[in-house]
Amino acid sequence: MTTPPRAVLRITCQDRPGLVSEVSGLLFKLGLNIHHADQHLDAEANLFFQRIEFPVPDGWDRVREDLTQALGRLGMQYSLRILTERLRVAVLISKHPHCGLDILDRHRTGELQCEVPVVISNHADLGPEISRRGYTFVHEAIAGNKVDQERRILARLAEERIDLVVLARYMQILTGAFVAAHPNRIINIHHSFLPAFAGAEPYRQAFRKGVKLVGATSHYVTEQLDEGPIIAQGVTRVSHRDTVQDMERKGRDLERVVLAEAVRCHLEDRIIAYGHKTVVFE
């Protein structure tokens, strides 16, 4: 028996009594069978968030139109997507291979359900390794003109109809124009437990502070460096015996896992970003 594809509805609105009943009643009237639902209330902001999964019914186009019109009348911000409609992801890397290759390997094995039409780098070093895995590799050197380089990358992203950009240790600060072109659709991995040790060389910063934990943080990119809404984080222990290189070695595993988790959550529509924060549904 074939399992029907699932649709995901995400809702954001001002909190008020009866919202859960209101939304579930609406879906019931439209003949939609809720398989999973989760919600969250930010009491300080008075904001209600909900994520609902349900099988896609026959006559989906009509049902979708009725549902979106009803949600609009209720004054709700929403997104609605069938999960089999895979997002198109571009991976941007520099010289550090671990995060980028890990994302590609998880994609190849089916763990990350998406399309990866292009991998872009400001260095040519990893081209043979990425091409060997069957991916299209594009080398876009900065060559002293970052504005032109970003313009070429943005043109390629538009040509490939990219839905999500993953910065897999892409060691460049993006301009405001680049970020504005993909709001809440650029995910970065920063090799520290933000907000601690933002900016360059965070492991060296941590070593100088004598910390006993180092971490990794995946977040959406905004114009403010390393201050975008946080999606996932992880930490591991270090000691006084660890050098900067030891911290980097221990941190690499964290970086892989934390970035992959953030990308997976985005691909499955589990994240709602608002202000400087996110709601990440399990």
- What's the pLDDT score for residue 14? 96
Instruction: For residue range 19-72, list pLDDT tens digits in order.
Output: 999 999 999 999 999 999 999 999 999 999 999 999 999 999 999 999 999 999
Active site residue 66: no
Please give the backbone phi and psi of residue 194, each rounded to the nearest 5 degrees, phi first: -55, 145
Report the chain's mean pLDDT, rounded to a whole number: 95
Q: Does the pLDDT at position 2 exceed 80? A: no
Tally of domains within the chain: 2
Give the CA distances from residue 72 to residues 13, 66, 77, in Å, rounded to whole numbers and listed in that order: 11, 10, 7
Catalytic pick among 226, 242, 246, 269: 226
The enclosing domain of 12 has a CATH number of 3.30.70.260
Residue 1 lies in a domain: no
Segment 263-276 mean pLDDT: 97
Residue 113 lies in a domain: yes
User: By residue range, what is the domain housing residue 111?
Assistant: 88-280
Measured distance CA(117)–CA(119) in Å, rounded: 7
Asked whether residue 135 falls in the same domain as residue 26, the answer is no
Asked whether residue 128 falls in the same domain as residue 33, the answer is no
Give the CA distances from residue 30 to residues 190, 215, 278, in Å, rounded to whole numbers and listed in that order: 43, 46, 30
Instruction: For residue range 200-246, list pLDDT tens digits in order.
Output: 899 999 999 999 999 999 999 999 988 999 999 999 999 999 999 99
